Each structure stands twice: as structure tokens, then as C-alpha cells.
Amino acid sequence: PLLPEMINHTGSGSEIDISKPFRLVIFHPTTTSYGGEHEQMANLLEALESLPMQTLLLWPNIDAGADHISKAIRVFRERVAPTWLRTITNLNPEIYLKVLARAACAVGNSSSFVRDAGYFGTPVVLVGDRQRGRETDVHVTHVDPETAAIVKAMQVQLSHGHYLASTLYGDGHVAERIAKELARLRPYVQKQLNYVAEDAQSIPPNGNESTGNRNGSGRLQRDPQKKYRAAAR
């Protein structure tokens, strides 16, 4: 189970009461559109402020543009001093998945919102282009990084609540199926060796220019003026 001390022993800001609904927010840079991160994060934070509820926000990764996002978060904390916000650098994977499963809504652009959140049925508001083009299930709502669009999508997802679990990205048993297929396959591993002339002059597919028996008599009659290399296939 998710215990309060798992998320309240680290980070800063208000403590999260896990017995009540809380929001999980993660917003990473989109490196292909470098330069707009500060404005996008500011819009997201404004949307969170417009719909206040206790929120756990994880700091961005170290991709280019992360410093702009971090600055927007710091400016927001100093200006607004939100009593509903807790910021954490990171969580270990086991605790993070428990948080994701328990969250009333996940907002941002983490890849885990596409893959793992679906397995838990956690409602997601996927903001911006970082995950654009990835296949998503019904638990995900795509929005542009604009305040009004984010607020509207959060309202819809919070009203809906958790979805049925999705197996779009797997059901937890892929390893067994891969092992079964590998055990079933019997690949042909016998190597064949041909001699190929480096001057690109054609040599018969069997590598011989004269007939011969299995014991080697009458083997390939090489031209001393040519160079040959062994070609395995």
C-alpha cells in the first residue's frame, strides 16, 4: 500500500493526505521545440491554481529546457505560495507506481502517463507534444499547453474517475510468451563458406570452377593472379 511517509518524508511544500484525492503532475521539456518551456509550464501551473486540489509535482528531467521549467516552478511557488502543492525531485520506481495508481488524475507529459497509467486506469491529461504520435487508450485526453484547455480537461477527467485497466502496452506476462517462442524456435545455424574473387569476376555459387569429389580432389583451381577471400553466410 501507499503510505504517507513514502511521499512526505522528502521534498518540500504541503504534505499530501493520501486518504483524499490528489493530483500527480510531471512536465518534461520537449527538445524538438526548445525555447517555449517556461511559458508552457507557467500555463500549466496557472491551470492547477484555477482548479486547486492537493498536488504532488515532480521536478523535470535533465533534457534541454529543464532549467526553464524549474525556474517557472520556483517563480510560481514564491509568487503564489500554494498551500496545496508539494514538490519532489524523484521517487523510486516502486513508490512512483503506487502514487500513479492512487492519483485522482495525472497531468503533464511523462511517458508513464501513456503506458503505466493505463494499466491502473488513472485519468490523464496529456499536455503538449512530447508524447505526440504515441498510441494511447481511453484514459488519456490530449491538450495543447494552454491554461483553459488544461483546466477543462482536468475537470472532465476528475469527474470521470478511474477507467477500466488497459492492456494496450501489455498485461505483465510478455516475458513468459517471449521465452516460450524462443524455446520453440529452432534456427538453422550451419555456416556455409564460399570463395569470392575480389576482382568481382563471377564464380559459380558452389565456389568451384572444376568438378571434384568430397575428399577434395579437383578442388577450386585458383588463378594465381587473383586474390580470394572467404565469405561466410
Which residues are CB-neighbours of 230 under 8 A, at least 6 positions away? 193, 194, 195, 196
State whether 34 and 133 are in the same domain.
yes
* Residue 29: half-sphere exposure toward Cβ, Cα within 13 Å: 20
State whether 109 and 21 are in the same domain.
yes
CATH code assigned at 53 = 3.40.50.2000
Q: What is the pLDDT confidence band of residue 58, given thresholds at 50, 70 and 90?
A: very high
Has residue 216 got a pLDDT over 70? Answer: no
State the Cα angle at 120 between 117 and 125, rounded to 5°. 35
Tens of pLDDT, residues 191-208: 777 766 665 555 455 545
Q: How many helices (H) and strands (E) does the chain have?
A: 8, 9
State whether 35 and 72 are in the same domain.
yes
State whether 139 and 33 are in the same domain.
yes
Per the CB < 8 A criterion, the answer to whether 191 and 148 are in contact is: no
Q: Which residue has the cell 524455446?
A: 183
Containing structural domain, residue 218? 186-233
Tens of pLDDT, residues 29-48: 998 888 899 999 999 999 99
pLDDT value of residue 24: 99
More confident site: 54 or 185 = 54
| Alpha helices (H) along the chain | 5-8, 37-50, 66-80, 93-102, 111-114, 116-120, 147-160, 174-184
Per the CB < 8 A criterion, the answer to whether 88 and 58 are in contact is: yes
State whether 190 and 220 are in the same domain.
yes
Query: Within a domain: residue 191?
Result: yes
State whether 96 and 205 are in the same domain.
no
State whether 124 and 192 are in the same domain.
no
Tally of domains in the chain: 2
Query: Within a domain: residue 126?
Result: yes
Has residue 177 got a pLDDT over 90? Answer: yes
pLDDT value of residue 33: 81
Please give the model's pTM, rounded to 2 decimal places.
0.76
Per the CB < 8 A criterion, the answer to whether 106 and 21 are in contact is: no
State whether 13 and 106 are in the same domain.
yes
Distance of CA 42 to the CA centre of its chain: 24
Query: Within a domain: residue 103?
Result: yes
d(CA 83, CA 181): 53
State the Cα angle at 68 between 41 and 102, rounded to 5°. 45
